[in-house]
Amino acid sequence: MATIEELLQREDESWRAFVDAFSAVPEDRRDVAGVVPGWSVHDMVWHCGYWAGFVVDVLANIARGEPTNDDQDWDAINDSVAQEGRTMTWDDVVGASERNRTAVREALSALPTLTDKAVAEFGGETFEHYDEHATEVRAFATG
């Protein structure tokens, strides 16, 4: 299993690559749907930022030995998150995403014990998520 330091390094590398990808999209195209059907770069940045923040509570539950409530309507949550993000300015989306990213890194670092569940949750909602959507954003930026 990876160490906390290795996970933080992987998250940082993936976040920087995601930032590079969305920064390459011209300002006048950030709100244009098409990164994935119905979603813009603006939507995608908030989507990743939101889920990084979401995992803060998941990691806190893991640290306390409490359930993580995995039985949710993830599509409905994603739709709600997209709608919320569309009420935010670009700077607000990027700033909130950065704050959530900082919070999840701190939550991981604060874990008394690094479990497989914590590794999976952190990786799935940070670097794996950033990498997935960075690829889509890059394709949109060059397409």
Mean pLDDT of the chain: 95
Q: Give how many domains the chain has, as a whole number.
A: 1
pLDDT tens digits for range 17-67: 999 999 999 999 999 999 999 999 999 999 999 999 999 999 999 999 998
pLDDT beyond 90 at 5: yes
Across 84-99, average pLDDT: 98
What is the DSSP code string of the chain?
A: ---HHHHHHHHHHHHHHHHHHHHTS-GGGTT-S-SBTTB-HHHHHHHHHHHHHHHHHHHHHHHHT------S-HHHHHHHHHHHHTTS-HHHHHHHHHHHHHHHHHHHHT-SS--HHHHHHHHHHTHHHHHHHHHHHHHHHH-
Residue 108 is part of a domain; what is its CATH number?
1.20.120.450
For 121, the domain range is 4-142
pLDDT score at 43? 97
pLDDT tens digits for range 92-110: 999 999 999 999 999 999 9
pLDDT score at 71? 77
